[in-house]
Chain A
Amino acid sequence: MNLEDKAKHIRTLIIKALAEAGSGHTGGSLDLVDIFTVLYFNHLRYDNKNPKWEDRDRVVLSIGHTAPVLYATLAAAGFLPEEELMTLRKFGSRLQGHPSLDSQLPGVETSAGSLGQGLSISNGMAFAAKFDKKEYRVYCVMGDGEIQEGSVYEAAMAAAYYKLDNVCAILDRNRLQIDGNTENVMALEPLADKWHAFGWNVIEIDGHNHFEIKDALVKAENCKGKPSIIIAHTIMGKGVPEIENNNKWHGKVPTKEQAVEWTK
């Protein structure tokens, strides 16, 4: 399966799981699919048979409510059976509404859900790699609304000060949050300038272009002495034209009929 087909498959898994769950976050989960596809099928070092392999690259999903894209990608990558995705958000499921370390789902690196903590956690993992002289890299996936949280900038300062070049933040810049456009709710621009000023290597890409995603991940890895942030311009709800760029789909899920229609 090529990357385009993988991405399409993961989108299908997400839509079906969300329709079955009856609640969850559709827009952000779908717009991160291309990034997760390239990460898991063309970039990361991991072993799905040994998910706690010491030298694995870490993916910290800081934007916890997009758990479906993590779960669906992990399933597609062989960490869990794809059928298990249909237990999403149900009682007793390993697929909690937001990622949970408690549930012991292979491939989940940390619990998340309260926004703004993942970059700090990623820094901690990156410090540990430096202490232990390990080569693994830490990828922190954040939402654009999320970085209105002040603690993100505490972490941004620290990563640059300590030259944590094994940290790569990936910012899902879909420009939408629950209340509307980020620039109306609480403006983030000039976004790239801010991260430059904090001492980061900033890479801006089309977050749906697989070539650009891979290229950015490689550039980030090759950048030494500073952390990198990939500002990925995305379209919320990408892949389902009728919901694209509509913030009403932040926390809304398709009906089962819509799911059938969308995944034809």
Chain B
Amino acid sequence: MTYINKGDKPTKTGFGEGVRDAAMKNKNVIGIGADITASVGMNIFSEAFPERFISLGIAEQNCVATAAGLALSGKIPVFSTYGVFAAHRANDQIRISLCYNNLHAVIGGAHAGVSVGPDGATHQALEDIATMRVLPRMTVISPCDATQARIATEKAILELNGPVYIRFGREPVADFTSENQDFTIGKGQVMRDGDDACIIATGHEVWESLKAAERLEENGLRATVINIHTIKPLDEELLLDVARRFKTIYTVEEHQVTGGLGSAVAEFLSEKMPTRIVRIGVNDRFGESGKAGELMHHFGLDAESIYNKVYSDIIEK
């Protein structure tokens, strides 16, 4: 199956559209901003519903605990900032005020991964999946493109009941999934099927993995590519299916290889169906400045790098 890019679009835009669409359907949706409203896509909501938007300035801890107070009073708060600030600066507030209280609030973590580009290491969220998925009751979603980000965000706001972290990126990236896709939080998507390799990816890496799979196919190897858009709860059924079929699973993420998608897959399969897992991601390093494409290549996260890694691994065996 070939996917067509409808035109590059940042996943943050999809997030903002999803918040707006959810707000149209539920009057209890309240947005919270920490100064970088447009930079994280929340302006799409705040322009549509200015009376339901609370600007709290550069004060992430206050934003999260205020969200908790709103949720305790029947509102559905949505707070978005850069993933580094949400998942790290406000981690204690997320842990106690949101998760321990088991409140339905949606935290948007923007600027995920090295594709943030020139801002460099401080602004590139590479550990947020790890610190969010370890929290009891938290749902962690990492949509692959803008369309999916919009659908996932709306569903997370309107259908879930508990704390949610949604991760999205800054750069305009391929927008290739269908408006009418079958999207269920917690259910992975088989993007293409092949018997020679299995690549499990999340976020921007789904598109890169699909491109890598095309190159593998040109070289006689047919790859399955799976989009794990929900890292917690994991689609265990789907993982067991692929673990039965494949000797090796390649995981790809714009995140540290420790604590993220690769770890989650490894933790699960090592207990239920031990399988060799090759984790492609950032290897215990900080990001740096550069153009998004340069950095994706430098860190081995672009299609070419994924192709090289998978191809050479298969050939060596």
Residues of chain A within 8 A (CB-CB) of B67 are: 124
Where the two chains meet, the residues of B that have a C-beta atom closer than 8 Å to any C-beta of A are: 30, 52, 54, 56-57, 59, 61-62, 64-75, 77, 92-93, 95-97, 100-102
Task: Return the chain B residue nearest A156 by Cβ.
Answer: B62
B68 touches A120 (CB 8 A): yes
Size category of the binding interface on chain A: 20 to 34
| Among A120, A127, A150, residue most surrounded by chain B Cβ atoms (within 10 Å) | A120
Kindly list 6 other residue pairs between chains A and B, CB separation below 8 angstroms, not including A117-B93, A128-B73: A101-B100, A123-B62, A127-B30, A128-B72, A131-B75, A150-B61
Question: Once the chains are docked, how many angstroms separate the CA of A121 from the CA of B103?
Answer: 12
Question: Once the chains are docked, how many angstroms separate the CA of A200 from the CA of B50?
Answer: 26
Task: Return the chain A residue nearest B71 by Cβ.
Answer: A124
Residues of chain A within 8 A (CB-CB) of B93 are: 117, 120, 151
**Is A70 part of the contact surface with B, judged by Cβ < 8 Å?**
no
A–B pairs, 19, beta carbons within 8 Å? A110-B72, A117-B92, A120-B97, A121-B72, A123-B69, A124-B71, A124-B72, A124-B73, A125-B73, A127-B54, A127-B66, A127-B70, A129-B73, A131-B30, A132-B74, A151-B59, A154-B57, A157-B57, A158-B59
B125 to chain A, nearest CB (A): 21
Question: Once the chains are docked, how many angstroms separate the CA of A111 from the CA of B30?
Answer: 22
Residues of chain A within 8 A (CB-CB) of B65 are: 117-118, 120-121, 124, 151, 155
Q: Which of A126-164 contact B (CB under 8 A)?
A: 126-129, 131-132, 150-151, 154-155, 157-158, 162
A114 touches B61 (CB 8 A): no
Q: When the two chains form the complex, which single residue of B57, B69, B71, B73 contacts A120, counting CB atoms closer than 8 Å?
A: B69
B69 touches A154 (CB 8 A): no
**Is A109 part of the contact surface with B, judged by Cβ < 8 Å?**
yes
Residues of chain B within 8 A (CB-CB) of A125 are: 69-70, 72-73
Number of A-B contacts (CB under 8 A): 106
With contacts A100-B100, A101-B100, A102-B102 taken as known, whether A110 is within 8 angstroms of B68 at the C-beta atoms is yes
| Among B52, B71, B75, B96, residue most surrounded by chain A Cβ atoms (within 10 Å) | B96
Residues of chain A within 8 A (CB-CB) of B69 are: 60, 110, 120-128
B52 to chain A, nearest CB (A): 8
Task: Return the chain B residue nearest A117 by Cβ.
Answer: B65
**Is A113 part of the contact surface with B, judged by Cβ < 8 Å?**
yes
B101 touches A101 (CB 8 A): yes
B74 touches A113 (CB 8 A): no
Task: Return the chain A residue nearest B105 by Cβ.
Answer: A124
B100 touches A120 (CB 8 A): no
With contacts A124-B73, A157-B57 taken as known, whether A111 is within 8 angstroms of B96 at the C-beta atoms is yes
Residues of chain B within 8 A (CB-CB) of A122 are: 69
Q: When the two chains form the complex, which single residue of A101, A124, A127, A132 contacts B102, counting CB atoms closer than 8 Å?
A: A101
A109 touches B59 (CB 8 A): no
A158 touches B62 (CB 8 A): yes
Residues of chain B within 8 A (CB-CB) of A151 are: 59, 61-62, 65, 93
Residues of chain A within 8 A (CB-CB) of B64 are: 120
Residues of chain B within 8 A (CB-CB) of A120 are: 61-62, 64-66, 68-69, 93, 97
A155 touches B72 (CB 8 A): no
